Amino acid sequence: MKKYISKFKTVEKSPKATGLNFSTYSGLGGFIAIAVVAFLTKNTVIPFIMAPFGATCVLAFGVPNSPLAQPRNIIGGHIISTIIGLLCLHFLGNDWYSLAIGVGLAIAVMQITKTTHPPAGADPLVVILAGSSWEFLINPVISGAISITIIALIFNNLHKARKYPTYWF
């Protein structure tokens, strides 16, 4: 990346666009992943989908080499953040400060455990605002995160220019 001097500091130029082929393939991957978890949710008694999974697909298929898109981050980040949200709901209830504490703790714990996954930062909000039970951790969080990760593993590796994951642990 080329650097240029702004009025205030040296700034990097934004990276080049990924290109039509890469972008189309990324979009197709996200489509397939959400189609599968939505189909499973609609046609079984098990919920597999929640809103943050849309953003998970952006990372898993749009930037599959990113540390934030790796299996440990997708699965671990969603599990950790959901547990924190459930604990905040259980001990603090549904209030402005429980939402703030939940997100703040989720960020800190994900960073400490090397499982940072930005979409999972929304999990405490989803859990607390919905008044979710502990079952929410299994379905949709674990079942959905694992499903999306498996789809990303298969789909990304079908393309010769992609290798996923970059690392497991």
User: By percentage, how much of the chain surpasses pLDDT 70?
Assistant: 95
Contacts of 78 (CB under 8 A, 6+ apart): 52, 56, 117, 119, 120, 123, 141, 142, 144, 145
pLDDT tens-digit map of 48-75: 999 999 999 999 999 999 999 999 999 9
**Residue-level pLDDT at 139:** 98
Q: Token pair of 135, please?
A: 């079952």
The residue ranking higher by pLDDT, 150 or 6, is 150
Average pLDDT of span 115-138: 98
Instruction: Locate the domains of the chain by residue range.
Output: 19-158
Helix axis angle for 71-92 and 143-158, nearest 10°, is 160
pLDDT tens-digit map of 81-120: 999 999 999 999 999 999 999 999 999 999 999 999 999 9
Distance CA 112, CA 126 (A): 22
Distance CA 33, CA 150 (A): 9
Q: Are 100 and 88 in contact (CB under 8 A)?
A: no
Q: What's the 3-state SS for 46-111?
A: CCCCCCHHHHHHHHHHHCCCCHHHCHHHHHHHHHHHHHHHHHHHHHHCCCHHHHHHHHHHHHHHHH
- What's the CA angle centered on 43, arms 126 and 58, to 5 degrees? 45
User: Does residue 4 surpass a pLDDT of 70?
Assistant: no
